């Protein structure tokens, strides 16, 4: 298949956006307006707007779910990265290769949600979660469209209930979309003792730091001994 134009990618039957738009009208969900460069993001993805991914890229700058706990990525806005850039995709003319893990969302604690493109266990297209408390990937068992519906329908709240704290909604509403909360002692250390400190830091850097730790496969105790307290926290 050759390179498709933005017109090719948008002139489709059964586009995903009308269904998504209705879904995102639920309480605690905010759709960020798409930037003027959103069509370029769609072009770099080479995904039609029949898909949830294409619709998010073209029609949103991102979506804040559950008061901002989850940040679905889109065309990029308010400091959130766009779907093409965060996944290292240039233009089709540059011979961009689809990533083996397509990052589609972050949570406020620096967890990463990614679609399996072949680099994770299990079926292609399933969403996986890289958890900041285990530093491991966990398969959720459904694709991106079902993931979005699950997130706005209460599934996310149940899934992360153990990570939340009294007053978390107020704390999140004070954060811009581009920031997350770095936790000390780190969630993965198992050292939480009631004196937890949460500090605002750039969200993409926080998520990258967690994945870097996980990829090192370094025992938690060794990381703590090396003073690895998290970005922005000392």
Question: What is the pTM for the complete model shown?
Answer: 0.89
Residue 213: which of 205, 94, 194, 46 has the closest Cα?
A: 205
C-alpha distances in Å from residue 210, one per residue of 68, 131, 203, 207: 19, 8, 11, 5
Residue 117: inside a domain: yes
**Structure-derived torsion over alpha carbons of residues 165, 168, 171, 172, reported in degrees to the nearest 10:** 130
Q: Which structure tokens are listed for 50?
A: 């029949």
pLDDT of residue 94: 81
* Of 115, 119, 135, 110, residue with least CA distance to 127: 115
The answer as to whether 65 is a domain residue is yes
Supply the pLDDT for residue 223.
39
Q: What is the extent of the structural domain holding 173? A: 6-160+169-217
d(CA 153, CA 174): 23
Q: Is residue 56 part of a domain?
A: yes
What total number of domains does the chain contain? Answer: 1
One digit per residue, pLDDT tens: the chain, 234 residues?
A: 689 999 999 999 999 999 999 999 999 999 999 999 999 999 999 999 999 999 999 999 999 999 999 999 999 999 999 999 999 999 888 877 788 999 999 999 999 999 999 999 889 999 999 999 999 999 999 999 999 999 999 999 999 999 999 999 999 988 999 999 999 998 888 776 556 899 999 999 999 999 999 988 544 434 343 444 444 432
Does 222 fall in a domain?
no
The span from the CA of 154 to the CA of 26, in Å, is 11
Q: Is residue 75 part of a domain?
A: yes
pLDDT of residue 37: 97
Q: What is the pLDDT of residue 164?
A: 93
- Cα 168–chain centre separation: 19
∠ CA 151-103-85, nearest 5°, is 130
Nearest-CA neighbor of 21 among 130, 152, 134?
152
CB 62 within 8 A of CB 41: no
Beta strands in the chain (DSSP E): 30-32, 62-65, 70-73, 101-107, 112-116, 127-130, 137-139, 179-184, 197-202
Two structure tokens written together for 81: 């990265």
- Residue 103 located in a structural domain: yes
130 close to 117: Cβ distance less than 8 angstroms = no
Residues with Cβ within 8 Å of 69's Cβ and at least 6 positions away in sequence, in order, are 107, 108, 156, 160, 168, 172
Examine residue 81 and state whether it is found in any structural domain, yes or no. Answer: yes
Smallest CA-to-CA distance from 114 within 90, 92, 91, 136 is with: 136
Contacts of 149 (CB under 8 A, 6+ apart): 23
**Per DSSP, which regions of 68-227 are E strands?**
70-73, 101-107, 112-116, 127-130, 137-139, 179-184, 197-202
Q: Is residue 224 part of a domain?
A: no
């Amino acid at each position: 298949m050759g390179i498709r134009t933005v017109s090719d990618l948008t002139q489709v039957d059964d586009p995903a956006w009308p269904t998504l738009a209705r879904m995102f009208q639920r309480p605690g969900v905010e759709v960020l307006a798409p930037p003027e460069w959103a069509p370029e993001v769609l072009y770099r993805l080479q995904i039609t707007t029949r898909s949830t991914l294409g619709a998010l890229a073209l029609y949103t700058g991102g979506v804040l779910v559950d008061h901002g706990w989850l940040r679905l990525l889109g065309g990029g806005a308010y400091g959130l990265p766009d779907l093409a850039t965060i996944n290292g995709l240039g233009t089709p003319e540059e011979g961009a290769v689809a990533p083996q893990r397509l990052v589609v969302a972050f949570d406020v604690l620096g967890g990463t949600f990614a679609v399996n493109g072949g680099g994770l266990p299990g079926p292609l297209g399933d969403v996986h979660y890289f958890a900041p408390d285990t530093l491991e990937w966990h398969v959720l068992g459904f694709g991106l469209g079902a993931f979005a519906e699950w997130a706005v329908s209460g599934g996310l709240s149940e899934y992360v209930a153990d990570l939340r704290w009294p007053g978390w909604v107020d704390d999140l509403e004070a954060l811009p979309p581009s920031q997350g909360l770095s936790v000390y002692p780190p969630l993965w250390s198992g050292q939480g003792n009631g004196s937890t400190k949460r500090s605002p830091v750039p969200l993409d850097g926080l998520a990258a730091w967690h994945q870097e730790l996980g990829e090192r496969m370094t025992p938690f105790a060794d990381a703590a001994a090396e003073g690895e307290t998290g970005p922005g926290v000392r």
